[in-house]
């Protein structure tokens, strides 16, 4: 059971989803179908791609979505809703269709990552949860994948629990970072729930609880003779490494093995060169250097460029809150709606600055003969184009028909996608924009519909 | 029941809390008491104060903290922990003392906001949860209070659900923002759990589902004859307001009442002046103007300065992720530890850049005769100083002895504290630093202990 979700999430939505639902209900539109696209309006600064994550939670949510009596009672007390409508809600089940990109897929601005076709009330009620879920997990998977790219062949561990935005975020960050290629997490509950490898060293307080740093090291090594990484910067890093060497040599004599030393402050380049030199001289070549403290993809790149000798990184806060882009501009917009005669009519938003693309859409990825990504085509679903379609059917008539892959498979899929994306789109700063082409039919529909809407407004 | 918390949070911690615990256990230190301070190393840029929130969750966590058989089993499978230690964990209960500042208190850098005195293992095991909880809720309460200050006598509503970092964050953001003075939230589940007023209008998709904007407005007004706020910017804002006026006049004839119009895009200053002018001319003086879209405290200040005529603001993403400061530098550091003879010895971290203050401490707030805050004194707990002590005893020997105030009381307390803080410390940019003075005894202890530690390191 690798899931984590409260089951009573039906009221986790913006109030307007419910008031609009009642508006539709009273206007007798509850049988009208509509299609909504969940997509990102524009990529955050310095992001050349987004790494999709969160679908598993979306499907769990759909599976558990119902309004229980105590939830209906709460709504009743608001004096907003009619008895008729509340009776409808009490029977509510999602019965529509969902197409989605798999977790680990790479996507770009304006591409639907989830497409919902359902009666207008059902489609609307999903909005808040879907946005919240895809925003967090995709934002973090993307940020974490940048850290992994920066780290090259060094291992990276998630140390963000203490500064993520609450408990749900801490768990989802661990999962999203693992999808993106992190080697493990310090978050024990995430380890238990998702089966992610857990890792940890020691805190400064541990060292400070003993009279001498060396005593603290020996006591820890005694408890974990072959799993000890010693934090060497509590007082003076050079003396800390000297003490770690004594522990390493004693462990070896006793058949154990010092795993590593951790540096959490100071000039990481200088210290990380000093540490292996001292360790090598003492004959402890196998001891790894572990660095943590204020790291992100930019800092990692800088450290490596300056020749730091670091084997493993612990990356915390700045990854766990996606510090340079703490949200993505994810939105959920209607693209077609059924009229009174049962025909789907494409629709679009056409305000001054924010225009959306109409119609039921699909995304096709064009790859070269080596599987490298060349461009995407954003097209109407009814078009039959070359390329790999990225949206898969995951829910049909309310039933989940998607075989949810294990986390390790998702991680592997993410790795292969990121490696198929050419480097120029993966630059940490000012990456090139991946070409997303609008198909001829979609272009024509957009143009025709814009004209129609403008005309309708004028003649009103 | 105004609580929201999973009960199985014992494994919500960094692995090192448990490995250190086993280190202490094997070193026979499980009876040694220690004191830890939770505090913020430095305020984020443009923050002159922090507004404390999160204590309620901390106390719920303490109340429910135990390692259940399935959690022990997971730990056993890691091949890290001894049977002895796991048996100890299976019996684990927090039995220590906690002093904390109430929610709604204002605090500053280096002031302990929570102080834990317990055996070293218990004190250590709380670390991760406490940091995660205080980080999120204090960060958001602080950000939200800046938005409230900017808004002056206008009302502000939390619209952040869709972009907060997960579900837990969305709920805690709604609660923290309410503490800070927000009038309500769009988050229905937060309304149910915490008793916060809920609010909402409509989305563009609602307007787009009807052939004419006016039809969508009429249908919504029919469903909510005295609770309708109409979104007027889907196509053309001026025409949207004209349509809203038609609805308002019809509602009035039918004994209802149009609450407001909402503007979500475009030049808010121009549009918010146009709207009341048009409404007034039509005799609909009572209709409020509601603005949303990309708002934060800086944007609000700018809009108001430029003369925007807005009654209510919906503030979302940028508040809900604290966009300009998406974490605070909250840490948890040991300040004293019991030796073998049962004496408490003050301790401190003394590395190159990061020094902590030793000893068991209290914070005293000095106020003038009108209750305005003048300065704080950071002192040793045993000192008897003038001023109001901010740390209150909340847990004694593992039992919660604090009478948790209702959310409305916390909100009122926050309001009175913020109004007692002089304006120069509340400026949105480059606020002055509130004076936090270190007492003479604490200064002397810090100096003496630094010398001792340096000496000990040299003679080692």
Token digits of residue B373: 């805050």
Contact between chains at B12 and A167 (C-beta distance less than 8 A): yes
Q: CA-CA distance, B89 to B92, in Å (whole number)?
A: 5
Cβ distance A74 to A81 under 8 Å? no
Q: CA-CA distance, A360 to B302, in Å (whole number)?
A: 40
Contact between chains at A351 and B266 (C-beta distance less than 8 A): yes
Contact between chains at A198 and B19 (C-beta distance less than 8 A): no
Contact between chains at B334 and A236 (C-beta distance less than 8 A): no
Contact between chains at B136 and A165 (C-beta distance less than 8 A): yes
Contact between chains at A351 and B159 (C-beta distance less than 8 A): no
Which chain A residue lies closest to B61 (C-alpha atoms)? A167
Q: With beta carbons under 8 A apart, name residues in chain A contacting B333.
A: 204-205
Residue A353 is predicted with a pLDDT of 61
Q: CA-CA distance, B159 to A15, in Å (whole number)?
A: 10
Which of B31, B185, B327, B451 has the most A C-beta neighbours within 10 Å, making it the best mutation to test the interface with A?
Answer: B327
Q: With beta carbons under 8 A apart, name residues in chain B contacting A203.
A: 16, 20, 124, 127
Q: Among B322, B317, B126, B63, which Cα is nearest to A164's?
A: B322
Q: CA-CA distance, A194 to A205, in Å (whole number)?
A: 29
Contact between chains at A12 and B167 (C-beta distance less than 8 A): yes
Q: With beta carbons under 8 A apart, name residues in chain A contacting B456.
A: 212
Q: CA-CA distance, B458 to B227, in Å (whole number)?
A: 74
Token digits of residue B259: 């609450």
Q: With beta carbons under 8 A apart, name residues in chain A contacting B120.
A: 209
Which of A14, A120, A202, A322 has the most B C-beta neighbours within 10 Å, making it the best mutation to test the interface with B?
Answer: A14
Contact between chains at A209 and B127 (C-beta distance less than 8 A): no
Minimal Cα–Cα distance from A16 to chain B, Å? 5
Q: Among B320, B214, B309, B211, which Cα is nearest to B267's?
A: B309
Which chain B residue lies closest to A71 (C-alpha atoms)? B192
The full set of domains in chain B, from first to last, is 15-141+325-459 (3.20.140.10), 200-292 (3.20.20.70)
| DSSP structural state of residue A14 | B
Which chain A residue lies closest to B232 (C-alpha atoms)? A351
Q: With beta carbons under 8 A apart, name residues in chain B contacting A349.
A: 204, 208, 234
Contact between chains at A19 and B208 (C-beta distance less than 8 A): no
Q: In sequence order, what are the residues at sequence separation of 6 or more whose Cβ sits closer than 8 angstroms to the Cβ of residue B318?
A: B294, B295, B296, B324
Distances (CA, A) of A62 to A22, A56, A93, A175, A433: 20, 10, 9, 20, 34
Contact between chains at B321 and A326 (C-beta distance less than 8 A): yes
Cβ distance B96 to B65 under 8 Å? no
Which chain A residue lies closest to B36 (C-alpha atoms)? A205
Backbone CA torsion sign across B142, B143, B147, B149: positive
Q: CA-CA distance, A200 to A259, in Å (whole number)?
A: 11
Q: How many angstroms from the chain centroid is the CA of residue A440?
A: 32
Q: CA-CA distance, A322 to B72, in Å (whole number)?
A: 33
Contact between chains at B202 and A19 (C-beta distance less than 8 A): yes
Minimal Cα–Cα distance from A431 to chain B, Å? 23
Residue A346 is predicted with a pLDDT of 93
Starting at the earlier edge strand, list the strands of the sheet with B388-389.
Answer: B388-389, B361-367, B373-380, B436-438
Q: How many angstroms from the chain centroid is the CA of residue A37?
A: 18
Q: Which neighbouring-strand residues pair with A79?
A: none
Which of B14, B213, B319, B453 has the most A C-beta neighbours within 10 Å, making it the best mutation to test the interface with A?
Answer: B14
Minimal Cα–Cα distance from A366 to chain B, Å? 31
Contact between chains at A169 and B166 (C-beta distance less than 8 A): yes
Minimal Cα–Cα distance from A104 to chain B, Å? 19
Q: In sequence order, what are the residues at sequence separation of 6 or more whose Cβ sits closer than 8 angstroms to the Cβ of residue A455?
A: none
Which chain B residue lies closest to A348 (C-alpha atoms)? B208
Residue B341 is predicted with a pLDDT of 85
Token digits of residue B446: 């810090």
Q: With beta carbons under 8 A apart, name residues in chain A contacting B6.
A: 6, 167
Instruction: Report the residue from A192, A202, A233 with minimal CB separation from B16.
Output: A202
CB-CB neighbours of A320 under 10 Å: 29
Q: Please, what is the angle between helix A166-179 and helix A120-151, to 10°?
A: 60
Residue B83 is predicted with a pLDDT of 96
Instruction: Report the residue from A219, A349, A353 with minimal CB separation from B26.
Output: A219
Instruction: Report the residue from A16, A80, A170 with minimal CB separation from B201.
Output: A16
Q: What is the ipTM of this complex?
A: 0.96
Q: With beta carbons under 8 A apart, name residues in chain B contacting A34.
A: 205, 209
CA dihedral A214, A216, A218, A223 (to 10 degrees): -170
CB-CB neighbours of A440 under 10 Å: 12
Q: With beta carbons under 8 A apart, name residues in chain B contacting A16.
A: 186, 200-203
Residues of chain A scoring pLDDT < 70: 1-7, 351-354, 458-460
- Render each residue's pLDDT in chain B as its tens digit; 460 residues: 344 556 689 999 999 999 999 999 999 988 899 999 999 999 999 999 999 999 999 999 999 999 999 999 999 999 999 999 999 999 999 999 999 999 999 999 999 999 999 999 999 999 999 999 999 999 999 999 999 999 999 999 999 999 999 999 999 999 999 999 999 999 999 999 999 999 998 999 899 888 899 999 999 999 999 899 999 998 889 999 999 999 999 999 999 899 999 999 889 999 999 999 999 999 999 999 999 999 999 999 999 999 999 999 999 999 999 999 999 999 999 999 988 888 889 988 776 566 789 999 999 999 999 999 999 999 999 999 999 999 999 999 999 999 999 999 999 999 999 999 999 999 999 999 999 999 999 999 999 998 988 887 766 5
Q: With beta carbons under 8 A apart, name residues in chain A contacting B75.
A: 188
């Amino acid at each position: 059971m690798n899931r984590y979700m409260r089951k009573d999430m039906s009221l986790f939505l913006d109030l307007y989803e419910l008031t609009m639902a009642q508006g539709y209900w009273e206007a007798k539109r509850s049988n009208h179908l509509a299609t909504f696209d969940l997509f990102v309006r524009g990529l955050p600064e310095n992001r050349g791609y987004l790494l999709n994550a969160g679908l598993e939670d979306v499907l769990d949510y759909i599976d558990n979505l119902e309004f229980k009596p105590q939830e209906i009672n709460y709504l009743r007390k608001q004096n907003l809703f009619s008895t008729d409508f509340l009776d409808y809600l009490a029977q509510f089940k999602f019965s529509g269709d969902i197409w989605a990109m798999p977790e680990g897929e790479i996507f770009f601005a304006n591409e639907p990552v989830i497409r919902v076709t359902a009666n207008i009330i059902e489609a609307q009620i999903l909005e808040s949860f879907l946005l919240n879920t895809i925003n967090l997990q995709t934002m973090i998977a993307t940020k974490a994948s940048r850290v992994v790219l920066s780290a090259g062949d060094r291992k990276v561990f998630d140390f963000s629990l203490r500064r993520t935005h609450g408990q749900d975020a801490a768990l989802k960050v661990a999962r999203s970072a693992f999808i993106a290629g992190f080697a493990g997490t310090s978050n024990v509950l995430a380890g238990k729930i998702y089966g992610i490898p857990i890792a940890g060293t020691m805190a400064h307080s541990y060292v400070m609880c003993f009279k001498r740093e060396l005593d603290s090291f020996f006591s820890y090594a005694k408890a974990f003779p072959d799993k000890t990484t010693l934090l060497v910067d509590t007082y003076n890093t050079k003396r800390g490494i000297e003490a770690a060497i004594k522990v390493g040599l004693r462990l070896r004599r006793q058949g154990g093995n010092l795993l590593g030393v951790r540096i959490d402050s100071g000039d990481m380049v200088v210290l990380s060169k000093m540490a292996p030199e001292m360790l090598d001289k003492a004959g402890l070549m196998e001891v790894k250097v572990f660095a943590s403290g204020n790291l992100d993809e930019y800092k990692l790149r800088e450290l490596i460029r300056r020749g730091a000798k670091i084997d493993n990184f612990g990356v915390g806060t700045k990854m766990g809150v996606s510090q340079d882009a703490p949200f993505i501009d994810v939105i959920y917009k209607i693209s077609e709606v059924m009229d009174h005669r049962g025909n789907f009519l494409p629709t679009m938003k056409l305000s001054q600055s924010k225009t959306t693309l109409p119609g039921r859409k699909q995304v096709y990825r064009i790859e070269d003969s080596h599987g490298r990504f060349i461009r995407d085509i954003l097209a109407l679903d009814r078009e039959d184009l070359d390329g790999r379609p990225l949206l898969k059917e995951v829910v049909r008539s309310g039933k989940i028909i998607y075989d949810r892959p294990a986390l390790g498979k998702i991680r592997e899929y993410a790795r292969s996608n990121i490696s198929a994306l050419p480097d120029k789109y993966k630059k940490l700063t000012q990456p090139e924009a991946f070409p997303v082409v609008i198909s001829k039919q979609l272009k024509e529909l957009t143009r025709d519909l814009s004209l129609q809407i403008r005309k309708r407004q004028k003649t009103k």
